[in-house]
């Protein structure tokens, strides 16, 4: 793998099997959010670079071998990629930490999950039947439904889980026989560039995998509207997602959108009836809200706790939140890294300020930490923050903060808990904590969220579909449905004994 930590301009645009600089020659510095210092320079592509990459992907799909490669060979290549990811786990984990600000351990876990995704989709396609036979009611008719690749896929990925989110799109797209152009976030592009290097090393034909590093308003917008793109898959914010959908509508291309969430974590008193149960629920509430500094679309940013245990629960939650060790993600023992940018930190600060003006009670955090050796003053750090006495009318409760901010609401009855949890325009994920198995099933069944965890938070399975309701988006990733997003279906109807129909006189 190329050294991406040396401060020099690199050719990070890959089109038609060649690495090159931007047509304009423009570059962008990549900053380490722990100290705001540049540690890499990448090409800054625009519409011209995007057109070249799409043209390469189009040629590779229409004229190249990949779409016709036997499924077993495509699966074998995906497994080779997984092996290469394991080989480079330490380097990629460190790069993800420096790029996105997360801890190295979080980065390593991400790489493991990326490898799992490639293996899962390899196994899924390798074990499939070649087609579904449809009974036409006659021995002279052979009717079958087969799967075909969509074509050229445009992928636009976010900055919080750069490589993981890329893998959720790239692995099924390649398994299905597509070609693609990916645009990683301009803030955190480095591990996606590294993945394209690994795809090339694994033997993927030229033109199948293409990447353009650059901003959303040029590269992303052009991908969404491009007439030679057959599908666009976007993960990011609601405002940008709606722009992608509008741009894609003119060419009636397939669209998959994952647009974030405002996720409830519902805790019933009976889940805290024992000391072990109480400790587990508090620990998981911290994990739900503060992993990767809360910069997670599925973060449990809304704690909805039964009134009878609220005081004790919030007091312990705030005590532990204050003890979370903030610092550079590469430092041993650090539990929470910086926010990804100064812009993101300013956004979080504005939400906390508005919440306090609207009556929220600050229980912990709410400010930038004191600088230290492991927390440079120039870094984008913000303390894990617990806001008590929140209500639905507050912006911090309604809108996605995407930072280390946990709001606390309370309820008295099961119906009230469900109503609060569903009172959101999003519907990505949620959780319910209870010792009552019947209640767990009832509440999970009533929650209008794409993923519901019972007595847990954050795990996902490659075999299970991931997506949301409401403004959390459309389409699914992971699982069989994730593969289906990158396919078209064709009905092949063969008449083995054709005869004239004589509908018309002749």
Active site residues per annotation: 258, 297
Distance CA 372, CA 369 (A): 9
Distance CA 152, CA 182 (A): 11
By DSSP bridging, strand 37-43 and strand 27-32 are antiparallel
CB 268 within 8 A of CB 246: no
Maximum separation of any 2 CA atoms in the chain, in Å: 92
Measured in degrees and rounded to the nearest 5, phi and psi for residue 495 equal -90, 115
Tokens of 207: 């033109």
Tell me the C-alpha distance between 188 and 98, whole Å: 9
* Residue 229, token pair as written in the block: 């793109």
Six token digits for residue 210: 């293409």
- The tokens describing 68, both together, are 């016709």
Q: Which tokens in the block code for residue 419?
A: 């109503």
CB atoms within 10 A of CB 7: 11
Q: Are the C-beta atoms of 282 and 319 separated by less than 8 Å?
A: no
CA 23 to chain centre: 29
Residue tagged 């199948």 (tokens): 208
- How does 299-337 read in b/e, with b if 16+ C-beta sit within 10 Å? bbbbbbbbeebbeebbebbbebbeebebbbbbbeebbbb
Q: Give me the helices (H) in 127-189, please.
A: 162-175
**The two three-digit tokens of residue 486, written as one number:** 């990158």
* Cα 30 to Cα 40: distance, rounded to the nearest angstrom: 5
């Amino acid at each position: 793998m190329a050294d991406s930590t040396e401060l020099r301009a690199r050719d990070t645009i890959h089109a038609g099997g060649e690495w090159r600089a931007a047509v304009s020659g423009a570059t962008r510095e990549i900053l380490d959010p722990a100290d705001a210092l540049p540690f890499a320079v990448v090409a800054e592509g625009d519409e011209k670079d995007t057109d070249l990459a799409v043209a390469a992907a189009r040629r590779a799909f229409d004229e190249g071998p990949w779409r016709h490669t036997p499924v077993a060979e495509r699966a074998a290549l995906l497994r080779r990629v997984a092996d290469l990811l394991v080989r480079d786990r330490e380097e990629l984990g460190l790069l993800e930490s420096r790029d996105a600000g997360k801890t190295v351990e979080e980065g390593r876990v991400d790489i493991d999950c990326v490898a799992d995704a490639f293996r899962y989709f390899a196994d899924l396609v390798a074990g499939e039947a070649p087609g579904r036979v449809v009974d036409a009611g006659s021995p002279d008719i052979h009717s079958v439904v087969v799967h075909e690749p969509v074509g050229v896929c445009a992928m636009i990925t976010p900055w919080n889980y750069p490589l993981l989110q890329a893998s959720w799109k790239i692995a099924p797209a390649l398994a299905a026989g597509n070609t693609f152009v990916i645009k990683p976030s301009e803030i955190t592009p480095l591990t996606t560039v590294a993945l394209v290097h690994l795809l090339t090393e694994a033997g993927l034909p030229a033109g199948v995998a293409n990447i353009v590093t650059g901003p959303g308003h040029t590269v992303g917008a052009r991908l969404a509207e491009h007439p030679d793109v057959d599908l666009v898959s976007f993960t990011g914010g609601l405002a940008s997602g709606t722009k992608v959908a509008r741009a894609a509508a003119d060419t009636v291309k397939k669209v998959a959108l994952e647009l974030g969430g405002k996720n409830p974590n519902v805790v019933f008193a009976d889940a805290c009836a024992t000391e072990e149960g109480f400790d587990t629920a508090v620990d998981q509430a911290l994990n739900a809200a503060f992993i990767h500094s809360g910069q997670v679309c599925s973060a449990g940013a809304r704690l909805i706790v039964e009134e009878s245990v609220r005081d004790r629960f919030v007091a312990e939650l705030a005590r532990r939140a204050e003890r979370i060790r903030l610092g550079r993600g590469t430092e041993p023992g650090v539990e929470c890294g910086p926010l990804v940018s100064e812009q993101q930190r300013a956004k979080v600060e504005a939400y906390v300020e508005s919440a306090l003006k609207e009556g929220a009670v600050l229980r912990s955090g709410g400010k930038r930490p004191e600088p230290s050796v492991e927390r440079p003053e120039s870094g984008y750090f913000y303390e894990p923050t617990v806001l008590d006495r929140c209500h639905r009318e507050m912006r911090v409760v309604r809108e996605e903060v995407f930072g280390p901010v946990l709001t606390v609401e309370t309820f008295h009855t099961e119906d009230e808990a469900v109503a609060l949890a569903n009172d959101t325009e999003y519907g990505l994920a949620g959780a319910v904590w209870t010792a009552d198995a019947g209640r767990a099933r009832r509440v999970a069944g009533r929650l209008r969220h794409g993923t519901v965890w019972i007595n847990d938070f954050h795990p996902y399975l490659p075999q299970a579909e991931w997506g949301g309701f409401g403004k959390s988006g459309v389409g699914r990733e992971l699982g069989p449905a994730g593969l289906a997003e990158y396919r078209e279906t064709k009905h092949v109807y063969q008449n083995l004994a054709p005869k004239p129909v004589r509908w018309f006189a002749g």
